[in-house]
Chain A
Amino acid sequence: MHLNHIFLLIDWALFIEKLVLIIVVVMGSLLVAMYSTYAERKVAAFMQDRVGPNRAGPFGILQPVADGVKLFFKEEIVPNFSSKFLFILGPCLAMLTAMMIGAVIPWGDKIHLFGRDISLQIADVNIGILYVFGIVSLGVYGIMIGGWASNNKFSLLGAMRAASQIVSYELAMGISLIALLMITGTLSLNEMVVQQKDHWWNIFKQPLGFLIFLICAFAETNRTPFDLPEAENELIGGYHAEYSSMKLGFYLFSEYINMFLSGAVMATLYFGGYDIPFVNDANLVHNIGVNWLAILEGTVFFIKICCFIFLFMWVRWTVPRFRYDQLMNLGWKILLPLALFNMLVTGALILLKQNHWHF
């Protein structure tokens, strides 16, 4: 009787709509991550004047599938003397935290299907950007637990490096975000995009903040030049040294998903999200309808993200890895004061603007 009552209270159309959206976003991020591995190898080949993978399928586009199948068929090894539960929990957590960021990103405005307006954002929570920040700070657990459970000194060292690196760079990242929030006055990612649609993109208002955020994003996703947790010539692979088979695949995959979603976050915060540049959206809706506009917006957003993914790869094959003390100096002595300075200047300018540019 009671149970019946609950099931009647649930809005089933909303439930199904969100479920479909979640499946699409998760599958989409997995697909993008898969082809990011291919793109990475092609970009590396291009930078080093090689051909890159070209055996599996035309232009080697089946290479990620072949890699995935290979990883699945490898032998699974769980080292003795390690805690088996935590050893498996590590890659699961890394994957989970990587996926969770996709929930608050607005992938487009809305589509109109079956007489309903369907928002292309899974959850428009009013603390959107703080949610992203919270999930990013949890991302370190996958690496730390995996590194410790491997019962290997090098893995542990990699995990320690990851933890200290992520905690250090979170500070500068958070403060550069505060400056942005002072301008936008909202935490909701969707509202930020709507604001940028009508006015300038935030990159023009916060160039220094974006630069700090970008550097911190490199550090948080463990990409070169900040890939010290997995520095192979010092730590034989770091935190995933003991992993094999798909558990290793999960760690590698989560890095690419992180890259994709941090690109999405940066595009949303600073580059107008799904906003189509130089186009008045209101006119376009009249001409092509809501659904086509949503598809167009999604495509533009995806192109912006792809630019960021390319930037990540470009930097990887051009900038060498930092030394550990250089990493810490950059984080604490350069980025953090710079972010504080940026916040102060932003606050002063906002105050001046409120006073109509009089002191």
Chain B
Amino acid sequence: MGITQILFWFLTILALVAAIGVISSKNPIYSVLWLIVVFFAISGHYILMNAQFLAIVNIIVYAGAIMVLFLFVIMLMNLNAEAEPVKNVYMKMAGIISGLTLMIVLVAALSHSDVQNTIIRPGTSIGLIKNLGKALFNQYVVPFEISSVLFLSAMIGAIMLGKKDPVKKISL
């Protein structure tokens, strides 16, 4: 077992433990903090695959911005165990059954999938920023630009929804 494999197993176990922590902690603040640990573990995996740019962008965008806003909202809402609505047993049973069904579907889908083309072999350098930029702006420039337009419209939409009804100007 080389150092890469040790790191891989360490990061994998960390990611799984943290992911279980996200859904099992009672306090939503702890859930958010566990989720941040998950993002860090995934970034570690990206670095193992030599995708440094992806790793750091994952940290900047998810851990650094989105989770801060999550934490912000949850802290302001002041959720706690008493405010949690009690769910009845049937709902829980339905949840378990549907979750298991989803798992079976996923396992069935993955067992037939072709693994060979999807794995990035260690040693390739497509994850480095130079190669990634060239690929994005030459080969995939149309989807890249279209997705940026999509983001822009999503941002404008969020601002429009966030604004209250415009105050009618009183003409003097």
Question: What is the interface of chain A, defined by CB distance below 8 A to chain B?
Answer: 2, 6, 9-10, 83, 86, 125-127, 130-131, 133-134, 137-138, 140-141, 144-145, 148, 156, 159-160, 163-164, 166-167, 170, 187
Contacts and interface: CB of A to CB of B under 8 A. Distances in A.
The 4 lowest CB-CB distance pairs between A and B, nearest first, are: A137-B64, A134-B59, A130-B56, A134-B60
Given A126-B52, A127-B53, A130-B60, A170 B72 contact: no
B107 interface: no
Interface string B58-74: 01100111001101100
Q: Interface residues of A: mostly helix, strand, loop or mixed? A: helix
B129 A137 contact: no
A52 B20 CA distance: 54
A148 B60 contact: no
Given A134-B59, A134-B60, A160-B72, A9 B129 contact: no
Contacts of B52: 125-127
A86 B31 CA distance: 13
Chain B residues touching A, range: 20 to 34
Given A6-B2, A9-B3, A138 B72 contact: no
A6 B7 CA distance: 13
B126 interface: no
B23 interface: no
A138 B59 contact: yes
29 contacts: A9-B3, A126-B52, A126-B129, A127-B53, A127-B56, A127-B129, A130-B53, A130-B56, A133-B60, A134-B63, A134-B64, A137-B64, A138-B63, A141-B36, A144-B68, A144-B71, A145-B33, A156-B75, A159-B75, A160-B72, A160-B75, A163-B68, A163-B72, A164-B72, A166-B68, A167-B65, A167-B68, A167-B69, A170-B64
A2 B1 contact: yes
A127 B43 CA distance: 14
Contacts of A10: 3
B149 to A, nearest CB: 17
Contacts, number: 68
B93 to A, nearest CB: 33
Contact of B29 (A86, A137, A138, A187): A86
Contacts of B59: 134, 137-138
A144 B3 CA distance: 35
Contacts of A6: 1-3, 6
B68 A160 contact: no
B56 A163 contact: no
B152 interface: no
B160 interface: no
Interface string B94-136: 0000000000000000000000000000000000110000000
B170 interface: no
A9 B5 CA distance: 14
A170 B52 CA distance: 21
Contacts of B57: 130
A83 B27 CA distance: 11
B156 interface: no
Contact of B65 (A2, A125, A126, A170): A170
Contact of B60 (A83, A126, A137, A163): A137
B76 interface: yes
Contacts of A159: 75
Interface string B40-60: 000000000000110011011
